[in-house]
Each structure stands twice: as C-alpha cells, then as structure tokens.
Amino acid sequence: ENIYWPDGGAPKGRFNVRVHCYTQRSGRAPIKFKVAIKVGNVVKEFTGQVSNDELADVHEFTMN
C-alpha cells in the first residue's frame, strides 16, 4: 500500500507505521516485508516478518 502527501501537505501529528498480515495466502509463514518511509529527501527502510493475523510495529515518527 502507498500513502503519499505532496511536499508540505502531510498532516501534523504522530504516525505509527504497522504491518498487518490479514490472511496468509502463500501457505508459508512467516512472511517477510519491507517498508520504505520518505520524508523530504531522506528514505528510511525497515524489514521484518509477520505470520497469519499478526500485527508488527515498524516505526513511529512525528510530523511538525
């Protein structure tokens, strides 16, 4: 999924980025994921894994 705001258009506040594996379709667990967060020209990447119906906290940040 992609969430995008134009420069200066993001709402102010605290953001919690999470990955939720609603349904495991491949039959293989755990499922690996990669999240990229770009603020301005800075990109941060996070990786992890989730199993069926698992919620993983990835990153928290604040927009001022």
User: Using 50, 70 and 90 to split pLDDT, how confident is the model at 7?
Assistant: confident
The residues pairing with 20 across neighbouring beta strands, listed in sequence order, are 55
Determine the pLDDT at residue 14: 95
User: Using 50, 70 and 90 to split pLDDT, how confident is the model at 22?
Assistant: confident
The residues pairing with 62 across neighbouring beta strands, listed in sequence order, are 14
- Residue 2: CB atoms within 10 A of its CB come to 4
Q: Report the predicted TM-score, pTM, of the whole model to 2 decimal places.
A: 0.78
